[in-house]
A and B are shown apart, each in its own frame.
Chain A
Amino acid sequence: MTSLDIDALLSNTDTEIIICTGAGGVGKTTTAAALGVRAAELGRNVCVLTIDPARRLAQAMGLTELDNTPRPVSGVSPGSLNAMMLDMKRTFDEVVEAHADPERSKQILENPFYQALSSSFAGTQEYMAMEKLGQLHQDDSPWDLIIVDTPPSRSALDFLDAPARLGSFLDGRFIRILTAPARGAGSAIGRIAALGFGIFTNVLSKILGAQVLSDIGTFVAAIDTTFGGFRERADATYELLKKPGTAFIVVAAPERDALREASFFVERLQSESMPLAGLVLNRVQEVEAGSATEEQITAAAQRLRASGEFELTASLLELHAQRMALKERQKHLAARFESAHPTVPIIAVPAMAEDIHDLDGLRQIGAELADKNNDW
């Protein structure tokens, strides 16, 4: 298989953004952190943006607080490593405050609909991750490489789609209909009703109640005059993702569902001409290749068991055979992925016996990620 050359990617100063994506539970966040440590030790000035790190992983980077601001991770040189955790509400609040005068931003921040939107809208997290990425990637930023760990969403594709969805939602025709009264265009409702849209507001107010509709109207009117279009903002960040300085790394476990998800994502990136660096096949079973086949090992273990002697050896052989079988199955799944996506470089990272607790653990994963001689 084509090997993914991680060190070449990390050392290349043209690489400015790396986005780790994949299904939930495949080790995206750990991969992002390990890439960050390795890149910093290759001399890059790195900022890792994580969405929801396990407490242990934050501790592994020596961080006690992750609070929407990049915090330096000590013990990494000659480059530097900073890590931060996205606080989506804070990020959203800051966007509002940066673009509206104090009085208007107060009005927006206190609006009940804004509060619901900024803390629980499906897609706000993705949108704010993009927004934060845009902020971190400014010309005057102290980082030359930003590594993003994507939110744990239902589908990895949400990261690409949610921002545009939120943008077009806030700019869309329905929200304009709802905001018509708030803009003082009283007759708009009449015109809409004539067009058959009245039923729409009728249904909405039945479900949500009239107060909610009015909150939404005030919110959109307030936000509309302050910054020009959510959609343009979302589009701008989306364009950033297409630039050659960006690299997507898709992380997958060697399991059917995770690889299926990875396939979807790879196909989507390719169809959008997004820069895909490759696939990290995470936590694969390693077995040292010996001359004996799995069948021979299993048969030998059975013979020992039947003889009633050498129980330890029998157990060890069973363990060995089990691992060989697991590796075989994983390789079969990987081969299927590979034949469907022959141009995608792949790197396999072995499963660790223990969880990651410290920088050394991350370094070890980084070394595995960069080990292009791994012939798994």
Chain B
Amino acid sequence: MHSNQDSPSEVVLHVVSGKGGTGKTTVAAALAISLATNGHRVLLMEVEGRQGIAQLFDVAPLAYEETKVAVAPGGGEVWALAVDSEDALLDYLEMFYKMRRAGSALGKMGAIEFATTIAPGLRDVLLTGKAIEVVKRKEKNAANAYDFVVLDAPPTGRITRFLNVNSEVSGLAKVGPIKSHADSVMSVIASPLTTVHLVTLLEEMPVQETLDGIADLEANGLPVGSIFVNLMRPPKLDANQRKAVAEHSLSTSDIERGLEAVGLNSPELIASLEREALDHTQRVDLEARELQRLEDAQRTIVRLPLIPAGIDLGALYELAEIITNSEVTK
């Protein structure tokens, strides 16, 4: 079933970025499962040669070939592809010039490495170009080959430059074939077919980078989607308890009696618990401040919990369900 009729939004390409260490590959994978739910076909792409997708889904390293990595609730499928610029260049040569054979001869000489190095924007145009090719690809019956494409993109610090291939290339070539290719890529990226999500943690630096990233994307006319707040931990203490902690008015005797009841009462443990309570309270306050800054950005915020046992396939489905119940995929 290759249709996206039940999806009111036109978005086909979901680009996922985020500061290093925030878990953007995990979020991209969970988003792909979520989008595949109820019979959709989704392609999850990575472009940085890290084989992060293969590790997450616990499959062999991905070749330059679309591979089915997971099924989704209700009969959907997640396919995955690791794109490298050399393969993407060969595709490009074939598509536009029927020159794949010449291209692979050049590859053996190291010339493609050279070409993608010589033109800084070329690499990015080829990588984003591949994503656009998949987005536009049709089956024989004219249905879209994939209902959605999720791109695990470079980190926030580089995302605008990565997506803004037009200006990257125009610095190099004002006219010519690569410029027109960039133009056609851009016409999809800067359109309602595309949205860029940013993944963050509730810490100062990632939040600042997210806000800067949003401003940067907007300034360049790129479509910003949702903010995914990852690794959220629910507060263990309620607001009143945290207030007491902050004011150093927590009742020690209360804790003492509790520990007594379970035979663990010791001054050392009480001291530890009180220190940890303070630490926790500071952390929760900091997170609340950072969350407020994100809310001020007026974007849909998706909250993803820390999965204590770590990320495995089961955890991806858990996160996917949370995304499905959020507004992102509605």
Residue of B258, B275, B286 touching A310 (CB-CB under 8 A):
B258
Chain A CB within 8 A of B168 CB: yes
Chain B CB within 8 A of A185 CB: no
Residue of B172, B206, B278, B280 touching A208 (CB-CB under 8 A):
B172
CB of B208 within 8 A of CB of A216, answer no
Chain A CB within 8 A of B130 CB: no
CB of B171 within 8 A of CB of A115, answer yes
Inter-chain contacts of B237 with A (CB < 8 A): 312, 315-316, 319
Inter-chain contacts of B268 with A (CB < 8 A): 288, 290
Chain B CB within 8 A of A122 CB: yes
Inter-chain contacts of A56 with B (CB < 8 A): 204-205, 208
Chain A CB within 8 A of B134 CB: no
The CA of A210 and the CA of B264, in the complex, are separated in Å by 79
The CA of A89 and the CA of B103, in the complex, are separated in Å by 33
Inter-chain contacts of B236 with A (CB < 8 A): 315-316, 318-319, 322
Inter-chain contacts of A329 with B (CB < 8 A): 310
CB of A203 within 8 A of CB of B99, answer yes
Inter-chain contacts of A322 with B (CB < 8 A): 236, 308
Residue of A253, A288, A313 touching B272 (CB-CB under 8 A):
A288
The CA of A203 and the CA of B92, in the complex, are separated in Å by 11
- CB proximity of A323 to chain B, nearest CB, Å: 7
Chain B CB within 8 A of A8 CB: no
The CA of A70 and the CA of B226, in the complex, are separated in Å by 39
Residue of B175, B261, B282, B310 touching A209 (CB-CB under 8 A):
B175
Inter-chain contacts of B208 with A (CB < 8 A): 54-56
Residue of B105, B176, B278 touching A212 (CB-CB under 8 A):
B176
Measured CB to CB, the nearest residue on chain A to B181 is A207
CB of A152 within 8 A of CB of B262, answer no
- CB proximity of A208 to chain B, nearest CB, Å: 6
The CA of A318 and the CA of B235, in the complex, are separated in Å by 11
Stretch of A21-29, A78-86, A223-231, A239-247 on the interface side: A21-29
The CA of A143 and the CA of B216, in the complex, are separated in Å by 37
Stretch of B116-124, B138-146, B185-193, B294-302 on the interface side: B116-124
Identify the interface centre among A208, A210, A325: most chain B CB within 10 Å of its CB.
Answer: A208
Chain A CB within 8 A of B20 CB: yes
Inter-chain contacts of B205 with A (CB < 8 A): 54, 56, 355
Knowing A174-B114, A204-B115, A315-B237, say if A355 contacts B172 (CB, 8 Å): no
Chain A CB within 8 A of B179 CB: yes
Among residues 83 to 118 in chain B, which have CB atoms less than 8 Å away from a CB atom of chain A?
A: 89, 92-93, 97, 99, 102-103, 105-106, 109-111, 114-115, 117-118
Residue of B117, B172, B257 touching A113 (CB-CB under 8 A):
B172
The CA of A253 and the CA of B20, in the complex, are separated in Å by 12
CB of B117 within 8 A of CB of A206, answer no
Measured CB to CB, the nearest residue on chain A to B49 is A154
Measured CB to CB, the nearest residue on chain B to A165 is B117
Chain A CB within 8 A of B21 CB: yes
Residue of B123, B204, B261 touching A122 (CB-CB under 8 A):
B123
Interface majority SS (helix, strand, loop, mixed), chain B: helix
- CB proximity of B190 to chain A, nearest CB, Å: 19
Inter-chain contacts of A175 with B (CB < 8 A): 114, 118
CB of B272 within 8 A of CB of A290, answer yes
Residue of A25, A309, A317 touching B22 (CB-CB under 8 A):
A25
Inter-chain contacts of A207 with B (CB < 8 A): 89, 92-93, 115, 119, 122, 177-178
Chain B CB within 8 A of A297 CB: yes
Query: What does the 1/0 interface line of A98-125 toward B look like (CB < 8 Å)?
Result: 0000000000000011011101111100
Chain B CB within 8 A of A258 CB: yes
The CA of A152 and the CA of B171, in the complex, are separated in Å by 23
**In the complex, the 10 A-B pairs of residues with the closest C-beta atoms, listed nearest first:** A24-B20, A313-B258, A25-B21, A209-B176, A310-B258, A25-B20, A300-B262, A355-B204, A353-B282, A120-B120
B interface vs A, CB < 8 Å?
A: 19-22, 48-50, 89, 92-93, 97, 99, 102-103, 105-106, 109-111, 114-115, 117-123, 154-155, 157, 161, 168, 171-179, 203-206, 208-209, 236-237, 241, 250-251, 254-255, 257-259, 261-264, 266, 268-269, 271-273, 275-280, 282-283, 286, 308, 310
Beyond A119-B171, A310-B257, 9 additional contacts (C-beta under 8 Å) are A56-B205, A116-B119, A120-B161, A169-B114, A169-B117, A174-B110, A209-B177, A313-B257, A319-B237
Query: Could you show 26 A-B contacts with beta carbons less than 8 Å apart?
Result: A24-B20, A25-B21, A25-B206, A54-B205, A54-B209, A121-B117, A165-B117, A169-B118, A174-B118, A203-B106, A203-B111, A204-B115, A208-B118, A209-B175, A209-B176, A211-B175, A287-B272, A304-B262, A313-B257, A313-B258, A313-B259, A313-B273, A317-B264, A318-B236, A320-B272, A355-B286
